[in-house]
Amino acid sequence: MLFQLHGVVARRGGRVVLEGLDGAIGEGATCIVGPSGAGKSTLLRLLNRLADPDAGAISYRGRDLRDFDVLSLRREVALVPQLPALVEGSVSDNVRYGAQLAGRDPDVGRLLEIVGLGHSYAERPAARLSVGEQQRVMLARALALEPRALLLDEPTSALDHETKLAVEATLKQLREELEISLVFVTHDLLQTRRLGDCVLALRDGRLAGDRRPVGDGRPVGDGSSVGEGGLVGEGSSVGEGGLVGEGTGPA
Ligand SMILES: Nc1ncnc2c1ncn2[C@@H]1O[C@H](COP(=O)(O)OP(=O)(O)OP(=O)(O)O)[C@@H](O)[C@H]1O
Ligand SMILES: [Mg+2]
C-alpha cells in the first residue's frame, strides 16, 4: 500500500479541516476530488511532510512517515504544488533545483521534452513564463528527483485542452513505464476517468466516498457513496469496469 491514513486530523486557521481521515491510497493513479476548501491541498502536503497532522498518523509503504528522513522522503514522494513556486533564474536553473541539492545532474533538455516544453525553454527566464508553462517546469523539477510517487495538485488547471491531454499522456507514461504512482487533485471529472484507477472524495473534513484502491479488496473511508457528493456522478458504475481499469480503454 502506498499510503495509509489513520485518524488524520489537520487544523488550519483555527478550524479543523481534516477531521480524522481513515483510508488507503494504493499504487497506481489516485484522484482526490472535493469542493474548494475541502482540504485536498492540505492532505497532499501531509503526504510528503510539508506539514504534519495535528493528530493521527500516515504511513508510506508500511512505514510511519515520521520515521523517514524528511528530505529523502520528499525526493521519493515529490510534490508538484497547486501554485508554481519558481526560483529566480532560468528554466534550467529551476528544473535543476532540488535534484542538484540531492547531488544529481538531471538531463534538463530531456525533462523539458517530457513535459512538452522542449529544449528551447531551457535558458528562458522562469519568471516570464505563463502559469501553464510554469506548472510544467514544476513537473519537470519534480521528475528530476526521479521520484517513486508524484503528488500533483491540480497539475493541469492552467492548461488548454490539447496541452492538458499531452500532460495526461505524459503522466500515464510515467505511471506505466516508470511505475511511478500518482496521487493527484483535480476538479475535472473527465480527467478522473481518463487517468484515475481510484477516486477519493473529500467533503466536510472526511473521506466522503471511496474507490477500492488498486490491488486491495478493502473499502476505504466511511464507505458512503461518492455519487452523493456530487463531484463524481457515476458512483454506481465505478469499480465495475468504470474508473478502475479505465486507463486501458479509450478515454
Ligand atoms: N495556512 C493556512 N492558514 C489558514 N487557513 C488555511 C491555511 N491553509 C489552508 N487553510 C484553510 O484550510 C481549508 C482547506 O484548504 P485547502 O487548500 O486544503 O483546500 P483545497 O481543497 O485544496 O481547496 P481548492 O480546491 O480551492 O484548492 C481552507 O478553508 C483554507 O482556507
Ligand atoms: Mg487546493
**Tens-place pLDDT, residues 70-128:** 999 999 999 999 999 999 999 999 999 999 988 999 999 999 999 999 999 999 999 99
What is the pLDDT, as a whole number, of residue 233? 31
Asked if 153 contacts 82 with a C-beta cutoff of 8 angstroms, the reply is yes
Asked if 106 contacts 144 with a C-beta cutoff of 8 angstroms, the reply is yes
How many whole angstroms separate alpha carbon 128 and alpha carbon 115?
18
pLDDT grade for 211, boundaries at 50, 70 and 90: low
Determine the residue type at 86: L
How many whole angstroms separate alpha carbon 47 and alpha carbon 73?
9
| Residue 21 CB-half CA count within 13 A | 37
Residue of 65, 3, 29, 17 lying closest to 180 (CA atoms): 29
H or E element in which residue 8 lies: strand 3-12
Say whether pLDDT at 168 is over 70. Answer: yes
Asked if 65 contacts 49 with a C-beta cutoff of 8 angstroms, the reply is yes
Radius of gyration of the chain from its Cα atoms, rounded to whole angstroms: 18
Please state whether the predicted TM-score (pTM) of the whole model is above 0.95. no
Q: Whose CA is nearest to atom 8 of ligand 1?
A: 12
pLDDT grade for 230, boundaries at 50, 70 and 90: very low
Share of the chain above pLDDT 70, in %: 82
How many whole angstroms separate alpha carbon 48 and alpha carbon 180?
15
Rounded distance from Cα 123 to ligand 2 centre (Å): 30
Q: Which atom of ligand 1 is nearest to the CA of 202?
A: 21
What is the pLDDT, as a whole number, of residue 48? 96
Nearest ligand, measured from the Cα of 187? 1
Q: Which of 55-64, 113-122, 227-236 has the lowest mean pLDDT?
A: 227-236
User: Of the residues 8, 11, 16, 17, which should be mutated to test ligand 1's pocket, given the most ligand atoms within 8 Å of the CB?
Assistant: 17
Q: Classify burial at 190, counting beta carbons within 10 Å of its beta carbon; exposed 0-12, middle 13-18, buried 19 or more.
A: exposed
Rounded distance from Cα 45 to ligand 1 centre (Å): 11
How many whole angstroms separate alpha carbon 8 and alpha carbon 249?
35
What is the pLDDT, as a whole number, of residue 209? 56
Q: Which atom of ligand 1 is nearest to the CA of 44?
A: 18
